[in-house]
Structure 1
């Protein structure tokens, strides 16, 4: 028997009453084999929100504004306001994630994503020309802070807002705010690339990406309940069997931030340690992670360490050009039993990282469904692609933004997370910001993790074949 063509299916669905049409579409989709990678969804109806989106939405309902991410750029040169408006609208039209609403499902189940047909540009323009430079600087600072604290609405689709501050005819600041439920770190590069193209060549040339975020969300739900997805989920859960959940801070969660830095230069512990890691085939991330595992093992008196690391989650190249919240946390379990040398530990860490990243299709909220997590420390060496945001005739410079709000994004239970060490390697330096839970740690506790990493690397480099790593 020949399967009906897509055209025939669409005609048959169109003939059904609207109340039965989506049910029929879901039943047909359930009969199709679920591929290992996302594909365009059938139909344009609502799809279940991801588990991460559902968690962020619950958090937003009790603490409005915690899901807002914001950053700003300074634009020096003659800016065409009309072209900028058209380009912003074109980017919103290109990406379904920026036109999504997330609301309760009629049956009370997982919240649903629906996509508005037309983009709505929310752009506030403020003129600060004529004010003194000090007043302008304060106005920009205040506007950037307010943008990061503004509550956005997932239910109404008001998930993005923009502010354009005019400081002089050839000096502007553009502030972009988007909800973390629909916008991740990688999305920033995608957004700015598209905005530049739309401003330069016209919004009409911004064709939709091959896959949209709702395609991914729809695929994820079907794949997780398929035999292949369920089997992978069971295997990965088994890999963490016996690992206790990270303890919760008695006081709950209170965000703190701390600038962090690892010393580099000739003869530094960091450079010597990274060279040792490279000789063993370990990337800088793997080498730093192995050293952190030693620090945590000694702190906790354990030979079984789990560290969470944020992963882009774009395991298919078709997802790289889409805006959305694809980020997941990959828990990495590292075995320090048997007093391994640091070289041996590097090989164990390299294998653990490769194994963990092979499972980044599994959302952490689906992996640990009881709201707990096996890690209290998150570690990242960010490698988001650098995107030159170039506008014709305009010099563009990034402005310092508000501190990150990653702990709630990366942690099913923020109260169980001590810190997220977010490092960036840039211009030969490694540094960044540590976001930490003030109810679980003091600033000096966070600093001790970094100095501990340097101490481990210093001793490892000084003695290529150390007698073994102990937890005491």
Structure 2
């Protein structure tokens, strides 16, 4: 019997229609064994898990306007275990491709499984559509698959006793009222970071990841704060993430999404889509210290958990009214996900060493997500980011600055957060003067050669004013002389895109100094913080930008 899908399920389906033929909603769980997997045992163990959890046998059908779901009987479902061809790059691109292959919403199973045979190790991968699955389900599925395989290998029978399905709860009206009040007046469009890319009209939702292992000093600070501030590791790291975002343009009204498991104590082993994304709204007072930010973050987090029974899809229409829809979340662009280890490092399967394999699907509907993966010996931050929103280099810099922020907080817990430096390891390692690389020299030579050969040729179309190469080079030389007469090794340039910016950039290059470009459209506090961090002197500003102490860019 088919029944109508829930609002949460329909919202996911609508997202998929925005980017058809992608695996944007696919979730993968994989493990590697140092040896050979018995395909027959693995297939039988998987069938036992499917018989046990009806949600894995739930299929969906759609037309232009509606989405319905239906549960298939165990004997109606056939999920063959296929071969995953091994790639040549050694970077698990083959697993990513397997995870990213789209499912059809046409009544067919939303699950597939495969084995990649290696020279000395096999990898088993199961991919499930997010309609039937969430992050906690990966742990449950993996645990039951391994237990079933072990039982079969020992000549026993896997546990295939049906488990009662966990139905989605009716939203509590008190929780609905809480979110309507808490989210009133909030617009994620105003929370973009200054280092983000310009918005695109037709998103690809393609994503990449960058990993960073927290330094020993940063981990020590987090452990100390857990004791001193009486906060969990997750809360301390979440509070630091909110400060990092505020430092980079998110403003003082920072909203971070985080998934919350809504299973009750009797249903902790239920596979399915039993998590709600909740927005954590932390108002970062620039004059407050980190202790106050942690206190507010902890309170906000606990309140959100107590009202997490309501999916945001039940709240959005009432809060947003007639606001235009977008592929972006209406409430947040940045996520935080605290993910404890999935498999013990000492785990084995029939005596073979086993390790968990992280498999990406290659897509994200959020700008940036920090996955915190703590371990006994290391804590890794996996930053997943949408390539429509960020460059990998900027995300890598954000991770370094996150680490440096934690260390800095340990040295100066009482300092107001607005006064904290945002510098990271690479910021501090930048050379005092810009080395003349082959690329730099070739650009300068090319501009100079063109200015000499064709001085009247248009170099920059700046509004109604066409600036020639001769005029541009003359302004660059004047800038060089101005900068060379100063004592600073770093020069800041504040100018909109146009001829003045081009002339200033070329002039700083010619003077052999390092250039820091500032965007005049950014909020004044952000500009002031970036300028303070850079240590730049002098500051060159375009005409019409009154900046105290700045020098006018030569015309």
Superposition TM-score tier, normalisation by shorter sequence: 0.7 to 0.9
1:207 aligns with 2:161: yes
> Residue 142 of structure 2 aligns with which residue?
192
Could you tell me whether the CA contact under 8 Å between 2:61 and 2:105 is conserved in 1?
yes
> Residue 146 of structure 1 aligns with which residue?
97
> Residue 242 of structure 2 aligns with which residue?
293
1:328 aligns with 2:285: no
Shift of 1:454: 3.2
**Matched ranges for 1:104-119 at <5 A:** 104=62, 111-119=67-75
1:231 aligns with 2:188: no
Larger-Rg structure: 2
Could you tell me whether the CA contact under 8 Å between 2:82 and 2:114 is conserved in 1?
yes
Q: Structure 2: where are the runs of 5+ without partners?
A: 193-198, 420-524, 527-555
Shift of 1:293: 1.9
Count of aligned positions? 396
Distance 1:192 1:445, change over 3 A: same
Shift of 1:59: 3.2
1:243 aligns with 2:195: no
CA RMSD of aligned residues (A): 3.2
The 3-state SS of whatever aligns with 2:188 is coil
Could you tell me whether the CA contact under 8 Å between 1:377 and 1:419 is conserved in 2?
yes
The one of 46, 50, 54 equivalent to 1:88 is 46
> Residue 541 of structure 2 aligns with which residue?
none
> Residue 32 of structure 1 aligns with which residue?
none
Could you tell me whether the CA contact under 8 Å between 2:226 and 2:236 is conserved in 1?
yes
Q: Structure 1: where are the runs of 5+ without partners?
A: 1-44, 129-134, 409-416
Separation (CA, whole Å) in 1 of partners of 2:268 and 2:368: 28
CA deviation map 1:147-187 (0-9, x unaligned): 1232223332321112234557x964322222122122211
The worse-fitting range, judged by mean Cα deviation, of 292-301 and 325-334 is 292-301
> Residue 368 of structure 1 aligns with which residue?
316
Separation (CA, whole Å) in 2 of partners of 1:157 and 1:349: 43
Shift of 1:141: 4.9
Greater relative contact order (CA < 8 Å, ≥ 6 in sequence):
1
Separation (CA, whole Å) in 1 of partners of 2:349 and 2:35: 9
Shift of 1:100: 0.5
Separation (CA, whole Å) in 1 of partners of 2:52 and 2:178: 38
**Matched ranges for 1:34-183 at <5 A:** 45-61=1-17, 62-66=19-23, 67-77=25-35, 79-104=37-62, 111-119=67-75, 120-126=77-83, 141=92, 143-166=94-117, 172-183=122-133
Shift of 1:71: 4.0
Shift of 1:280: 0.8
1:431 aligns with 2:431: no
Separation (CA, whole Å) in 1 of partners of 2:36 and 2:399: 45
The worse-fitting range, judged by mean Cα deviation, of 181-190 and 244-253 is 244-253
Separation (CA, whole Å) in 1 of partners of 2:222 and 2:351: 44
1:310 aligns with 2:259: yes
